[in-house]
Amino acid sequence: MFHDPDFTPFTPNERPSWRSAKSNFLENWPPAAYREDYFTLDGIWPLVGRTHYIADPELIEDMLVTRAESFARDYITVGALSSTINRDALFFVEGADWKWQRRALAPAFRHENILALTPTFVDCAKAQADDWRHAPQGAPVDVMNAMSNVTFAVIEKAVLGVAGAFDRGKFIAAMQESFGGVSWGRIFALLRLPNWLPFPGSSKIYRNMRYLYDETARLLAARRAAGGQTLAIVDRMLAARDPESGRSMTDAELIANLYGFLVAGHETSAVALGWTLWLLAKDQASQERLRDEVRAIAGDADIGPQTVERLQFAKQAIQESMRLFPPAAATGRQPREDLMLGSHKIPKGEPVYAAIWALHRHEKLWDEPNAFDPDRFAPEKAKARPRCAYLPFGAGPRICIGMGFAMLEMTAILATLVRDFRFAPVEGYRPELAPDFTTRPKGALPLIIEKI
C-alpha cells in the first residue's frame, strides 16, 4: 500500500461552481460523493436541470446491466462528446442500429484476434523505447504525449491494417485540441443551448474537426479501393451486413465509426498508461516488482501472445491505476420513462451518472481509497468484490467494446517499457487534473526516464 498526497489531485467543492464546471467538473461532486450511494446536483445553478449520480454497485448494476433497455445515453454526454465523435458512431447510436453495428464489429475484438496483435503492441512500444534511448538523458519527458504516440500507432495498425497512413503528429494534435470542445459542449448541454454556439477557440476546433474527418474519409476511400479482406477493423466494417435487412454501413456510419475508433481506441489507453507510469515512478517498490515479473516470464525476449497474459502483476498495476485515475470519470444514461432506482425517483429524460471516479475512491468499498496498491486486484480479492464496484470500462450491453484489446495492449506496452527503463518523479511536480474527453492532467505529465 503506497501513500502519497499527490494521489488525491483536488479537494471537492462544498458548492458547485461554473469555474470548476469548465476546468475540472469532478471538483463539483460534493465530499458526500465518496461516502453516500447517491447524490444530485440540482437547484443550485439557475437554468440547469437536475442531474443524478450513483456510486453504489447495486444501483449501478440495475441501471447499466439489469434494466439497460430502459435507458438511453443522456443528453449531456451526447452534447459534450458529439463535439468530437460523430453521432452516427457506435458510441451514440441506439436500438436496432446499435445492435447490428455492435454485432458487426464484435468479431474484430474476439480474444484470438486481439492476442494476434501482441507483436504490434510490442513493436509500437519498442519504437518509443528507441526514441527514449537516443534522447538526452536526465531531462524531464512528457510521458502522456509519448503514450499518445504509442497508442495511436497501435490503433492505426489495428483499425487500418497499416501504420503511417496519417501525418501522426498533426492528426494527434488536432484531435487533442478538439477535446477542448468537450467541456463547452457539456456546459451548453447543461443550459440546453445549441452546441453550434461559438466559444473561445471554437473556430480553430471546427477547422480541426473538418481536417480530421476529411483525412478519415480519404483513408476510407483508399481502403475501399484496395479491396482488402484483412482482420483490420476497417475491413470488418466494409464487409458488415445487417443479418435482418442485409444493409451495409452508409458512408456516414463508416467514417463516424472509423474516426470514433481512432479517438476512443487510443486516447483512453494513453491516459491510463501515462498515469500508470507516474504512479509506478512514485512507488519504486511496485515498479521493481513489475520489472522482476517481466524478466522472470519473458527474459530478454519480446513479450508475445504466450507471455502477455501471464504478466499478472503488470495487469494489476494497470487495474489499480485505472481505479485511482479512471480514463472515463463517469458514464451517463437517461431513463426512457419515469422510474425508480432503489428509493430514488428518476423522471424520464433526467441524466443519471454512474459516478466512476467517486465509486473508485468510495469509503464503503475500498480500504485507504486514495493509496496505490496493485494487490487489491489479486484474483481472489477482485472476485470477492461486487460486480459493479470497479468500472473503468462500464458494464452491461454497452460495456466498452475495446476492453480486452486495451488490457492486452496496455500490459504489453507497460511490460516492454518498464523492463528497459526506470521511471522517477520530477521533484516539485504535482499534477492538476483537467478532465475533458478523458481524465488528463493539465499540460504535460513529466517523468525522469533512465535507461537500464
**List of residues contacting ligand HEM (CB under 6 A):** 64, 90-91, 102, 260-261, 264-265, 268-269, 272, 327-328, 331, 392-394, 398-402, 405-406
CB neighbours of residue 339 within 10 Å = 17
User: In this structure, what C-alpha cell is assigned to residue 288?
Assistant: 521493481
| C-beta contacts of 3-7 below 8 A and 24+ residues apart | 3/368, 3/370, 3/371, 3/372, 4/282, 4/283, 4/372, 6/282, 6/430, 6/431, 7/279, 7/282, 7/324, 7/370, 7/371, 7/372
Instruction: Using the minimum distance from each CB to ligand HEM, give the nearer residue, 33 or 422.
Output: 33
* Shortest Å distance, C-beta 116 to ligand HEM: 15
Instruction: Using the minimum distance from each CB to ligand HEM, give the nearer residue, 3 or 387.
Output: 387
- Three-class HEC string of 333-347: EEECCCEEECCEEEC
d(CA 441, CA 144): 9
Instruction: Using the minimum distance from each CB to ligand HEM, give the nearer residue, 74 or 283.
Output: 74
* Shortest Å distance, C-beta 268 to ligand HEM: 3
Instruction: Using the minimum distance from each CB to ligand HEM, give the nearer residue, 110 or 133.
Output: 110
* Shortest Å distance, C-beta 137 to ligand HEM: 30
What are the E-state strand segments in 80-195?
Answer: 141-142
* Shortest Å distance, C-beta 305 to ligand HEM: 18
Decide: 260 and 90 in contact? Cβ < 8 Å.
Answer: yes
Instruction: Using the minimum distance from each CB to ligand HEM, give the nearer residue, 208 or 257.
Output: 257
d(CA 443, CA 435): 11
Q: Are strands 344-346 and 339-341 parallel, antiparallel or unpaired?
A: antiparallel
* Shortest Å distance, C-beta 402 to ligand HEM: 2
* Shortest Å distance, C-beta 313 to ligand HEM: 18
Instruction: Using the minimum distance from each CB to ligand HEM, give the nearer residue, 21 or 352.
Output: 352
Instruction: Using the minimum distance from each CB to ligand HEM, give the nearer residue, 266 or 419.
Output: 266
d(CA 340, CA 124): 48
Which residue is closest to ligand HEM by CB?
402
Sequence letter at residue 42: D
> Is the alpha carbon torsion for 193, 264, 13, 430 positive or negative?
negative
* Shortest Å distance, C-beta 270 to ligand HEM: 9
User: In this structure, what C-alpha cell is assigned to residue 269?
Assistant: 489507453
Strand, helix or coil for residue 77:
helix
d(CA 26, CA 21): 8
Instruction: Using the minimum distance from each CB to ligand HEM, give the nearer residue, 88 or 138.
Output: 88
* Shortest Å distance, C-beta 148 to ligand HEM: 13
Instruction: Using the minimum distance from each CB to ligand HEM, give the nearer residue, 233 or 294.
Output: 233
Q: Which residue has the cell 453550434?
A: 196
Tallying the residues shown for the chain, one arrives at 452
* Shortest Å distance, C-beta 202 to ligand HEM: 26
